[in-house]
Structure 1
Amino acid sequence: MCGIFGMVRGGGRPVESNVLAAMKTALHHRGPDGNGIFAEGPVGLGNTRLAVVDTAGGSQPVIDPSSGAAIVYNGELFNHLELRAELESVGWCFRTHSDTEVVLAAFCVWGEDCVLRFNGMYAFAVFDPKARRVFIARDPAGIKPLYLTETADGLAFASEAKALLPIAGRRPDWQALWGYLTYGYMAPDCSPFAGITKFPAGSLAWIDLELPAARLAVRPYWQPRFGCGAPLAEGEAVDRLDALLSQAVKHELMSDVPVGLFLSGGLDSSAVAYYAARRHGQAISSFGLAFEETTHDESNDARTVARHLGIEHKELMFSPALVREGLRRVTETMDEPFGDSTVVPLLMLSRFAREHVTVVLTGWGGDEVLAGYPTLTAHRVASLYRRLPGMLAHGLVPALVDRLPVSDKYLSFEFKARRFLRGMKLTPEQQHFLWMGYFDDAFKHALLTPDVTAQVAQQDSLAHFAGMAAGMAEPTLTDRIMHLDFRYFLHGNGLFQADRMTMAASLEARVPLLNKQMLDFALPLPAGLKMAGGTPKGLLKKALAPHLPPAILSKPKKGFGPPSGHWVRSVFGPLLDHLFSRERIEAQGILNHATVARLLAEHRELKADHGRTLWALMSLQLWYDRFILDQASPLERAA
């Protein structure tokens, strides 16, 4: 696992060594074990290395002595031993035991088709000096990130957007940020910085160095397709899922350094823990969090699973002091605003785990791949709700819901009821993002100043989802919703925070539930089969029924939800007063002070639960101060 970066220029103009050096410094945290730069005329490639496989011999960039081809690579290739044997059978001679060299050899032998043989998580770039081209690719699920920016005569890329700021500059992209205020994360094709975009998942690209201005020619080599497979008997599906999960975890335990688990007590992390314990035995350790707020604490479930599987469980109590320290470190690290407060405990858990291991297996991706979100059931109910008489649907029921008392309980009935009623006049696909989101477009006009909204050309944040849904091959609404969650929520929320927070602690996170073999099997399964018994993740529950405690299998979906509503009232109250003071807001000219002040007052007086939205605004403001204005964090003096 590493950070990679590079610069390509057209017309034979040489890359600038000082720019490459600045990019390397920005990505040091991703690879504290070593670094290297390859520069040859118009091409510069660099790497910062976290040594996991072949710790002694896997330094990068790797250069093939016969062809001169050079590679920088971020990720893990879980089938590299099989591919190594295949390449050796056709005469390839390896000099190291690293998977990076296998990726380079595969490219040299099979060209761009090499990615069709890979089972892993990766983003990499190869310079082919004979063809005078550069090749770039990213894994199918988008587990490993890659950002791009164009220059006058070429382009640059890096594992994190912050490494491109010396080239692209520090300008906010208000169109992208308009979307952030809806979703709570950046959409999969953009960044919050003007001129910086994301290289698409499951895609490859060539850059021709002979052109006056080197530009990307991008095309997909893999795309998700949900529910489009042939029918399968439930018993056979359970057996195949069990075998594939076992195989995926076995592959992803591959490492030359200590490996552990993130364990929350939820179904997905418990599933990974079961298969890892079966393969690895009691030598593997799990790591989890405990919250002082009992409404959000699931630590007892994690301990129950660990005891049941006979693995050693290490727990971090997330105290108010750690909350403050966590946000300070997140603010210094996170180069995108992020509306989900999970990043704070995740970073501190990653730092805690890094004291013991270098790699962790996690449960991310299970909800998107195996139909785990409660919203899938909610959409079925919503289709019935739309048939109610208008007096009930738009009058009596909303009036009753408005009278419900505000609760700090995670996913309280009041929160879910209010959320459910949003967007009943939209298409289901659009309503889904309104349910999952933060601010609607009308509220954003009251939240942002006219100077900012004037920079947003497309102000309907949900319009394109109707067109996307119409063009999808998926046969059912449930499959279309899962596809959209895979492309948006998984990429923008789950995988983004998984990569960014673990790598900030120099810890590698792996996601066996998104293993390529799992994707090829699970995505095409009919939605009804994944939700066997009519319950989210029903198929997974049947596969795990012989192996996990019944209480874990039957517990309602909760997710990893810190008490952000409580935090913004208490531990971060002074910080919000500082960030959103009238003087400060009016001087910056971005937010409307009266609107923000109303949100704060209603939340503090328990008239409404604005915990999520206030956190999203706080994250936006902290990001703007740190990465646009380049100011020191106000956390030390304000918190």
Structure 2
Amino acid sequence: MARRIVAVRAKGNDAMCGFLMYTGNAIITPELLGTMERQLALLDHRGPDDMALERIGAGTAAGFKRLAIIDRQGSRQPLRYPPVGPEAGRWTLVFNGEIYNFEELREELTRAHGAVFATDGDSEVLAAAFHYWGEAALDRLRGMFAFALWDDATETLYAARDPFGIKPLYYLETPDGLWLSSEKPPLLEHAGSELNRTALSLYLTMQYVPEPYTLHRDVARLPAGGVLIRKFAGVSTIRRYARPTFRPDPAATEAAVVDELRAALRDSVRAHMRADVPVGAFLSSGIDSTAIVALAAELHPRLRAFTAGFDTSTAFSEIEVAERSARHLGVELIPTVVRPEQVMEALPRIIWHLGDPVADPSIVPLYFLARTAAEHVTVVLSGEGADELAGGYTIYREPRSLAPVARLGEPLQRGLRALARHLPDGMRGKSYLQRATTPMELRYFGNARILTDDEKARILRDAAGVGHPHVTAALYAEAAALDPVATMQHIDINTWLPGDILTKADRMSMAHSLELRVPFLDRRVFDVLSRLPAHLKVPGRRRTTKYALRRAMEGIVPDFITDRPKLGFPTPARRWLRTDLAEWAHHVLSTSGAGQLIDLDYAHALLNAHERGDADHARKLWILLSFCLWHGIFVDGSITVPLPEPRVRPMVTG
């Protein structure tokens, strides 16, 4: 079969996409290529502008779906490198992401090694970096990425993700070989149907499935900062090449940190604004997105910003504050209002795009926000990562508030634990005593903890192995020398950030063929934020968070934003499940085929109690409803999610 060598010229970044790769014992027949073409169609939303599917070798093939950011006719993938010479076409790359320092790397490769390029894009620079530097290239990349790179000379596959896990990469090992994909659905045709019960237990606790797990036992995710290496027809090995690490500097001065952070953010936003297509930004009522919009507007005064909300007469809409910020910054704001009936209609499609449920209600407005933005721009900047890196969650204040009891000796703590057990549920002080007398590693599993072990034992039909999430044990060992706030951040950037925040950001934006960029998750920005001492994140005398970031943005964002407390992305899920969505929720539970796994009668009882106002079970119900929808889509097939028709004619070569 023919091997196409890319020899056209393109300019800039153009690698946002979805890809699929197989390598193994199977011969790449026309029938297998046909199967891969069908699988690639499931990634149409990630790259609606072009498709290429190629045989790379006797047992290797790769397919690519492209979202054209620059030249629609240029820099096509799979991409071969080098373009000329005795080793021409040695490397074959499929790549999802952006390398923001590709121009600097290209110049260095040309100067130091005489590297030759056939394009002006970042994809070819990535392939060339591996050609000349090998795996050491990974430590030199500034950006977001997931890629698979085949070395024909050594018959070796390399696959890797960026250090924070901004872009996804799934893999499946079968007796015939290894499959890689940007999303989970294309792999399910080759996977078994067995559910991963460990992953289910973790999901019920954390409201998402943490890496490397998925709810399908056979399918896994390459961890953030991970690299997978596989010799042809051999065994895959996986290691972490990067683990972002906090290293608080108690000697850091406020003035120096503020100046350094402001400069790093400006530089990051400038790098993330590189594009030859329309660029916009998400804007909420908080400091994170407002900072990004303000810095982007310095470079692009006609910037378009996008916000979402619900009923503007309630506390659940950020539109009014975002409009005020947009007027202050002089940018155009396009709002989206989400209605309850849209939630019922969209949730199955949202969960299909996720592949595994993420029971975070904020995913709903994010889906509609991305849909609106995609009607106007191709790229958006967003504020994900600021909370985890700069100390933005109010729970990061907990170590200080619990300190008076946590410092007591074990005999006193033991007595207070016993006292707390006998206090009535809901009584003031009970939760405080329970938390203060429980070691952090046994109470904090990340930013969300939905169901306790006792609650999981009540809900699950098979409650074996429902103990606290073991995924955090190694992380606590790594953080042994850190202060409590930095320890919590270390847990979150390795679990919550890739598992919840970045998963929903990637899937909800790419569901609408929208590229989402996250300037806070930049190596240079993290270098500054990782050195913040606790008092420059959650100061003791101020009821605030992200103190250094707020100081750095003074004079750049309006005062009513720098002084505004964190709200998250509020959604009226509690109210909806008592009113507009209550009947729908009962229907989801009544028709679910998940009754062999969870006690649906108990779920109905929780919903009834919530409707009556006896208790607030909104988050528990959301996690159960999301799982029931996932089960209907991916397990029993009772829920069908129509997929859009491919927008381009596939081009299969070889």
Call closer, same or farther: CA 1:441–1:587 in 2, change over 3 Å.
closer
TM normalised by structure 2 equals 0.88
Equivalent of 1:245, from 262, 265, 281? 265
Does 2:616 correspond to 1:599?
no
Aligned counterpart, 1:31: 47
Is 2:297–2:331's contact at 8 Å kept on the other side of the alignment?
Answer: yes
Cα offset, 1:602, TM superposition: 1.3
Aligned counterpart, 2:98: 76
Equivalent of 2:108, from 86, 99, 108? 86
Call closer, same or farther: CA 1:301–1:631 in 2, change over 3 Å.
same
Q: Secondary structure at the match of 2:315?
A: helix
Does 2:184 correspond to 1:161?
yes
Aligned counterpart, 2:193: 170
Cα offset, 1:585, TM superposition: 5.9
Is 2:461–2:599's contact at 8 Å kept on the other side of the alignment?
Answer: yes
Equivalent of 2:403, from 346, 368, 383? 383
Does 2:649 correspond to 1:625?
no
**Code of the aligned partner of 2:39:** M
Aligned counterpart, 1:286: 305
Aligned counterpart, 2:333: 313
The total of aligned residue pairs comes to: 611
Cα offset, 1:331, TM superposition: 3.7
Equivalent of 1:330, from 326, 329, 350? 350
Counterpart Cα distance in 2 of 1:180 and 1:331: 14
Aligned counterpart, 2:450: 438
Cα offset, 1:461, TM superposition: 2.2
Aligned-CA RMSD value: 2.5
Equivalent of 1:514, from 494, 498, 521? 521
**Code of the aligned partner of 2:584:** L
Deviations 1:173-218 (A, max 9, x none): 1110110000000112111111111101112232111xxx432222
Aligned counterpart, 1:179: 202
Call closer, same or farther: CA 1:263–1:401 in 2, change over 3 Å.
farther
Q: Secondary structure at the match of 2:149?
A: strand
Call closer, same or farther: CA 1:529–1:215 in 2, change over 3 Å.
same
Q: Secondary structure at the match of 2:495?
A: helix
Aligned counterpart, 2:492: 485
**Code of the aligned partner of 1:367:** D
Is 1:422–1:431's contact at 8 Å kept on the other side of the alignment?
Answer: no
Call closer, same or farther: CA 1:331–1:509 in 2, change over 3 Å.
same
Is 1:359–1:508's contact at 8 Å kept on the other side of the alignment?
Answer: yes
Q: Secondary structure at the match of 2:444?
A: helix
Q: Secondary structure at the match of 1:601?
A: helix
- Runs of 4+ displaced beyond 6 Å: 388-394
Is 1:57–1:97's contact at 8 Å kept on the other side of the alignment?
Answer: no
Aligned counterpart, 1:566: 575
Cα offset, 1:393, TM superposition: 7.1
Aligned counterpart, 1:412: none
Counterpart Cα distance in 1 of 2:596 and 2:548: 51
**Code of the aligned partner of 1:176:** A
Unaligned runs of 5+ in 2: 1-15, 643-654
Counterpart Cα distance in 1 of 2:371 and 2:51: 22
Does 2:284 correspond to 1:268?
no
Is 2:391–2:545's contact at 8 Å kept on the other side of the alignment?
Answer: yes
Is 1:434–1:440's contact at 8 Å kept on the other side of the alignment?
Answer: no
Counterpart Cα distance in 1 of 2:331 and 2:163: 32
Cα offset, 1:439, TM superposition: 0.7
Does 2:133 correspond to 1:126?
no
Counterpart Cα distance in 1 of 2:479 and 2:99: 30
Is 1:226–1:479's contact at 8 Å kept on the other side of the alignment?
Answer: yes
Structure with greater proportional helix content: 1
Call closer, same or farther: CA 1:422–1:285 in 2, change over 3 Å.
farther
Counterpart Cα distance in 1 of 2:413 and 2:207: 33
Does 2:555 correspond to 1:550?
no
Aligned counterpart, 1:8: 23
Is 2:249–2:533's contact at 8 Å kept on the other side of the alignment?
Answer: yes
Call closer, same or farther: CA 1:514–1:481 in 2, change over 3 Å.
same
Call closer, same or farther: CA 1:380–1:5 in 2, change over 3 Å.
same
TM normalised by structure 1 equals 0.90
Is 1:190–1:197's contact at 8 Å kept on the other side of the alignment?
Answer: yes
Call closer, same or farther: CA 1:246–1:55 in 2, change over 3 Å.
farther
Is 2:446–2:492's contact at 8 Å kept on the other side of the alignment?
Answer: no
Is 1:144–1:499's contact at 8 Å kept on the other side of the alignment?
Answer: yes
**Code of the aligned partner of 2:125:** V
Counterpart Cα distance in 2 of 1:79 and 1:260: 21
Cα offset, 1:323, TM superposition: 2.6
Cα offset, 1:160, TM superposition: 0.8
Is 2:282–2:289's contact at 8 Å kept on the other side of the alignment?
Answer: yes
Aligned counterpart, 1:414: none
Greater shift in the superposed pair: 610-619 or 549-558: 549-558
Counterpart Cα distance in 2 of 1:256 and 1:182: 43
Aligned counterpart, 1:235: 255
Cα offset, 1:588, TM superposition: 3.6
Deviations 1:1-56 (A, max 9, x none): 1111111104x854732332232111111100111122121111111111124443
**Code of the aligned partner of 1:248:** S
Call closer, same or farther: CA 1:448–1:488 in 2, change over 3 Å.
same
Is 2:446–2:496's contact at 8 Å kept on the other side of the alignment?
Answer: no
Counterpart Cα distance in 2 of 1:548 and 1:228: 26
Cα offset, 1:99, TM superposition: 1.2
Deviations 1:275-300 (A, max 9, x none): 1011211x110000121161212222
Counterpart Cα distance in 2 of 1:394 and 1:57: 68
Unaligned runs of 5+ in 1: 405-416
Counterpart Cα distance in 1 of 2:434 and 2:626: 24
Cα offset, 1:632, TM superposition: 2.6
Counterpart Cα distance in 1 of 2:422 and 2:513: 48
Is 1:267–1:553's contact at 8 Å kept on the other side of the alignment?
Answer: yes
Is 2:446–2:491's contact at 8 Å kept on the other side of the alignment?
Answer: no
Does 2:475 correspond to 1:447?
no
Greater shift in the superposed pair: 116-125 or 390-399: 390-399
**Code of the aligned partner of 1:79:** N
Cα offset, 1:473, TM superposition: 5.0
Counterpart Cα distance in 1 of 2:211 and 2:446: 17
Greater shift in the superposed pair: 592-601 or 133-142: 592-601
Aligned counterpart, 1:22: 38
Q: Secondary structure at the match of 2:520?
A: helix
**Code of the aligned partner of 2:60:** V
**Code of the aligned partner of 2:138:** V
Is 2:129–2:137's contact at 8 Å kept on the other side of the alignment?
Answer: yes
